A and B are shown apart, each in its own frame.
Chain A
Amino acid sequence: MSERIPRATSSGAGRVLIAVYAIFALSATARAGVQIAGRFSEAPVAYLLSALAGVVYILATIGLAGHGPGYRKLAWAAVAFELAGVLVVGTLTVFDGADFPDDTVWSVYGRGYGFVPLVLPIIGLWWLRHTRAR
């Protein structure tokens, strides 16, 4: 076996990661859908952010579940964006809650979701690194 071929991100423990991402993709997208359809004018920024988070989780799930370099690039980009998102939104909401009248998945580093949104991208990046070609 060549050592240069990357291992599949969708195998073994990676399947647990994909399961968690899929659940977050589902819950963030469903939540954003209800918010935007029902009461968009109340907090448009927060609801658009919820939708963006949902899309990022969907892309990360697809990237991790797929095989090949394209999917791996997609997973890297989505997970890195997710980490940046949770850090930026988390920090903004800690220091100034006024701009975010309603909670998003990433508010206060994902406190409403047991801080899983903060830990998840870190594990995701580690997993992508762990399974890369070397």
Chain B
Amino acid sequence: MIDALVIVVLVATGALAVLGIGTTVRNRPPGRVHTLAVGAVEALLVIQAVIAAARVFGGVPLPESTTFLIYLVVSVCVLPIALQFATAEPTRWGGTVIAVAAIATGVAVLRLQGLWAAGGV
């Protein structure tokens, strides 16, 4: 994990949550903007996951490496599934579904950072 990237990812998931809730408040279904926004956040998450996984498999010692790797997989899987689910029924609530997924992803990244810090690296 790289501290600067963690902060960027957390800001990005936070912004995505605000975008999603804003869409629900304005009574609109999710559109192209949401697909692009999820794609951008997902790209950051994949970069983070690849770097972190490479360092774990490269021998960085972590007290709970299995838990760490599971959280890593969760951090990249939730948003694409949520986008699919949010756009499958075009109602105002799609935005909130994306927001929920963005918040959950942010929490997963925070837990990742905590587990990484516990390794003292």
Contacts and interface: CB of A to CB of B under 8 A. Distances in A.
B78 interface: yes
Interface string A48-68: 000000000000000000000
B100 interface: yes
A130 interface: no
Nearest to B78: A23
B98 to A, nearest CB: 9
B71 to A, nearest CB: 8
Given A11-B89, A13-B93, A15-B85, A20 B70 contact: no
Given A12-B91, A34-B66, A34-B67, A19 B97 contact: yes
B40 to A, nearest CB: 20
B46 interface: no
Interface residues of A, number: 15
A34 B101 contact: no
Contact of A16 (B64, B70, B78, B97): B97
B78 A15 contact: no
Nearest to A37: B66
A84 interface: no
Contacts of B70: 30, 34
Interface in A33-89: 34, 37-38
Nearest to B95: A16
B66 A15 contact: no
B82 to A, nearest CB: 6
Contacts of B85: 15, 18-19
B74 A27 contact: yes
A122 interface: no
B104 A15 contact: no
Given A20-B100, A23-B101, A15 B74 contact: no
Contacts of B74: 26-27, 30
B25 to A, nearest CB: 13
Interface in B11-60: none
B14 to A, nearest CB: 15
A38 B100 contact: no
A15 B86 contact: yes
Contacts of B94: 15
Given A23-B78, A26-B74, A34-B67, A15 B89 contact: yes
Interface of A: 11-13, 15-16, 18-20, 23, 26-27, 30, 34, 37-38
